[in-house]
Structure 1
Amino acid sequence: MLNATVMNHRDMLTATATATARADQEGFLGPILNLSEPSAPEGSTVTVSCMAGARVQVTLDGVPAAAPGQPAQLQLNATESDDGRNFFCSATLEVDGEFLYRNSSVQLRVLYGPKIDRATCPQHLKWKDKTRHVLQCQARGNPYPQLRCLKEGSNREVPVGIPFFVNVTHNGTYQCQASSSRGKYTLAVVMDIEAPNSHLVPGILAVFGTLAVVTVVVALMRVFREHKRSGRYHVRQESTSVPLTSMQPTEAMGEEPSRAE
């Protein structure tokens, strides 16, 4: 129903009415945003499309359609980084010099296998015995994977992400495995538990080694000294006798030899 204003001009009547169009009357309920695959496997091609009414200008992720009434589209190769990505489409309609706006959004889910972030899961842990620690390992994937860390040889499980009491029996290598319907991912983690005063053992061994060497040296010196005191020494004495030489009788008597007369 319209409220008209009637004006009489000679033999002519003029009726004037003003109406304001509503969005729903113009078929402008907002843009329709679709994904070819709402949950797409990693590596697959996904098409995103946005459309609206005949005279509506749509813009998808900042890129406008070619003309009013035309849909906007984009394609992408789905990767892990696209998981949870939101796409936005805006629609604009001009009615009697005024602009009407509608927006719509949709989220893409990408299915990918489990992974363990090495930056948040150290491969070598050095902790002290009888202390409390947290194994800070995190897994990701879609669907979300289950993460377990089991010790090699015994399959002993340690908790992940919550505090637990550490002792020397935790020494060893653990296989941390993230698993889901998309596969498995394994990362080795080594736990090195330091026993009380274990850092003093090398020093103590060095001291004992030094003492042993000193003891041996002192013992050898003592044996050498005792041997030196109890040893026999042979001194060669010079002879005190005078060697004998033959003498003539006259020389023996001290007389001069007789001369012939």
Structure 2
Amino acid sequence: MRPAALPLLLCAVNMLAGQLHAFFKVFIEPPEPVVEYGGTVRLKCGTTCQDPSATGNLETSFYKHQLEASGPNEKVVELRNITEWSSNILCYFFCNGTREMVSATLIAYRPLEQAVLEPVPQLEVGESHELVCHVPRVAPVRNLTVILRRGATTLHTATFKDKDKNEPQDVVVRHLVTAERGDQGQNITCQALLDLQPSNVHFNTTSSPRALDVYDFPEDPQLEMSETNLETDEKFNISCSVRDVFPAPRFELSLAGHSLSPRVTEDGLRAVAEVSHAQQGQFEVVCSVRVGPKKRRQQTLVHVYSHPQPQLNVNNSVLKEGTEVSGGCVLPPGHSPELQLQVTAGPRVLATWGPSPLGFTWNVSEEDNGTEVLCEARMPASKKNPKKSVPVVLIVTAKPKLDDRGCPSSQNWTEGENVTLRCQARGNPRPHVVCKKDGTTLIPGQWHMAKRAHTGMFQCEASNALGRDKRDITVWVQYHDINVGLIVAVVLVVLGALAIAGITYGIYYRKKKMREYQLQKEQQRMEMQKLRPEETVGVNGSAPGSQP
């Protein structure tokens, strides 16, 4: 190497060494420092410079308490009573005439307070409600996560990474939920997470749970009564029912403002109460049903009336036919004015429906004997049967009457038969009837044997305490005389016919036997002719094939 080149080589080596000595790093540990507000934090400012004479320091607005470093090229300080939510920290070093520095932001935080979930009211199925969760005084809020859950199901997650404010903030998270029947008893919780990564600081709090109370009351209750017009002190049933509700309903029944004690059916959907009322008037029946916080009611009016038994008065119950009977029907004092009366005599209406008192008149005939006169009282708007008075039975008296209906003027008998004279008289008291002819007396209705002597006219007389009546009856008796000569002639003819029949049968029988004998002989002859010659010879005593 030439001598002139050596200085240049040394200069290049020195320049390269200077550049190598100038390349170093400065760092702060931890690189993203965090500290609880008002607390203390330890920081280290260091360098990679290998020059023992390198100098550096850590600058901050807080009072620094220097600590012993573990190496030559580092500074360790402790910052106390950190009361700024965010502050800058500067770390620098001089190495071989070169200065390098790095900065970091010290973040102060607050430990998380417990999240608070606002109370959740009872919710009707299908109703929407906004859940509200509060997390107070969060710092730094950008590191916060809030999770709303229903049971194990996550409903909503909120983060705040876009928030750059370091001071504490009150956080409110809202979420709308719609109630369903399956939500009953489910717990709603709000979880708050404050994670200060990459540091090892994190907080986790959960609110007290809020149990969902869900109800469903889709329809108004149904109020049922067997009758809306009721008699005083009459017992009747009130029934109130609901359907498709959740949870079990609570019933309240009242009559005229007085609470009743209903009996609830096993399924819990119907309440029944038996009630009565002693006073007249219109009173309100109310059914109130509460399901959850919702209360629904149905009401109706019931008309309570006094319905005593009507009283029937008849001027005379024993009358002669053709005379007039009169009377009236009345209700006792205190009855309801809406009641109506009607008077009847059997199927006949004597006085149609009208208010009390109700009078009537009537001309009776013999056919009306034994008829019941009756008074009925009803409430027009009620479905109940009318109340009836004690009936009055009429007795109608009448003179005897004999006519074709009960005593035909002509009657036909047959001699020798058991017959009775038909003659019945009308009248009350019942008339006594006697029929006479030529000293012969017959009592109608009594049986006797018809004789030809009964033929002729009977005079019948009917009598009772009121008078008499007479009627003539012609009786015809049918009879036949016996003809002895005719009977003898008939007998002789019958005997002669029997004799002739006997002789004729004898001749016929003899001829029949002769024909049968001749027929048998003819059949034998024809059978002989059908035999072969050899059979004929055999028959005569010579066997076929015999030698002479």
What TM-score, normalized by structure 1, do the two folds share?
Answer: 0.58
Shift of 1:59: 1.8
Q: 1:58 aligns with which of 317, 341, 345?
A: 341
Q: 1:32 aligns with which of 311, 319, 326?
A: 311
Q: Are 2:406 and 2:425, in contact at CA under 8 Å, matched by a contact in 1?
A: no
Shift of 1:129: 2.4
SS at match of 1:122: coil
For residues 62-118 of structure 1, give each alpha carbon's deviation from its aligned partner in whole angstroms, at most 9, with x where no partner exists. 5022x3xx2111111222232222323211359xx9968411232222111111241
CA 1:74–1:106 in structure 2 vs 1: closer, same or farther (change >3 Å)?
same
Paired with 2:471 and 2:373, the residues of 1 have a C-alpha distance of 35
Which residue pairs with 1:16 in the alignment?
258
Query: 1:1-261 counterparts in 2 under 5 A?
Result: 16=258, 19-21=276-278, 28-53=307-332, 54-55=335-336, 56-61=339-344, 63-65=352-354, 67=355, 70-92=356-378, 101-104=386-389, 105-151=391-437, 153-154=438-439, 156-197=440-481
Counterpart amino acid of residue 408 in structure 2 = P
Q: Are 1:113 and 1:182, in contact at CA under 8 Å, matched by a contact in 2?
A: yes
Structure 1: which 4+ aligned runs deviate by more than 3 Å? Answer: 15-19, 26-29, 97-101
Shift of 1:178: 1.1
Shift of 1:27: 7.2
Counterpart amino acid of residue 103 in structure 1 = K
CA 1:43–1:131 in structure 2 vs 1: closer, same or farther (change >3 Å)?
same
Shift of 1:181: 0.4
Give ranges in structure 1 of 5+ residues lacking alignment: 1-14, 201-261
SS at match of 2:405: helix
Shift of 1:176: 1.3
Shift of 1:141: 1.0
Paired with 1:98 and 1:197, the residues of 2 have a C-alpha distance of 75
SS at match of 1:169: helix
CA 1:22–1:170 in structure 2 vs 1: closer, same or farther (change >3 Å)?
farther
Shift of 1:189: 0.8
SS at match of 1:118: coil
Q: Are 1:114 and 1:180, in contact at CA under 8 Å, matched by a contact in 2?
A: yes
CA 1:180–1:22 in structure 2 vs 1: closer, same or farther (change >3 Å)?
farther
For residues 116-151 of structure 1, give each alpha carbon's deviation from its aligned partner in whole angstroms, at most 9, with x where no partner exists. 241342212232322221222211211111111111
Identity among equivalent pairs (%) = 26
Q: Are 1:128 and 1:196, in contact at CA under 8 Å, matched by a contact in 2?
A: no
Counterpart amino acid of residue 58 in structure 1 = L
CA 1:92–1:176 in structure 2 vs 1: closer, same or farther (change >3 Å)?
same
CA 1:86–1:22 in structure 2 vs 1: closer, same or farther (change >3 Å)?
farther
Shift of 1:29: 4.1
Paired with 1:83 and 1:98, the residues of 2 have a C-alpha distance of 33
Paired with 2:386 and 2:413, the residues of 1 have a C-alpha distance of 60
Counterpart amino acid of residue 341 in structure 2 = V
CA RMSD, aligned part only? Answer: 3.1
Paired with 1:170 and 1:93, the residues of 2 have a C-alpha distance of 66
What TM-score, normalized by structure 2, do the two folds share?
Answer: 0.29
CA 1:175–1:16 in structure 2 vs 1: closer, same or farther (change >3 Å)?
same
Counterpart amino acid of residue 459 in structure 2 = Q
Shift of 1:185: 1.0
Tell me which structure has the larger Cα radius of gyration. Answer: 2
SS at match of 1:119: coil
Q: Are 2:419 and 2:448, in contact at CA under 8 Å, matched by a contact in 1?
A: yes
Counterpart amino acid of residue 42 in structure 1 = E
Q: Are 2:315 and 2:326, in contact at CA under 8 Å, matched by a contact in 1?
A: yes
Stretch of structure 1 that moved more, 131-140 or 142-151: 131-140
Q: Are 2:400 and 2:464, in contact at CA under 8 Å, matched by a contact in 1?
A: yes
Paired with 1:52 and 1:184, the residues of 2 have a C-alpha distance of 45
Paired with 1:64 and 1:196, the residues of 2 have a C-alpha distance of 68
Which residue pairs with 1:248 in the alignment?
none
Counterpart amino acid of residue 106 in structure 1 = V
Higher relative contact order (CA 8 A, sep 6+): 1
Q: Are 2:407 and 2:425, in contact at CA under 8 Å, matched by a contact in 1?
A: no
Paired with 1:98 and 1:195, the residues of 2 have a C-alpha distance of 69
Shift of 1:45: 1.5
SS at match of 2:394: strand
SS at match of 2:408: coil
SS at match of 2:367: helix
Which residue pairs with 1:223 in the alignment?
none
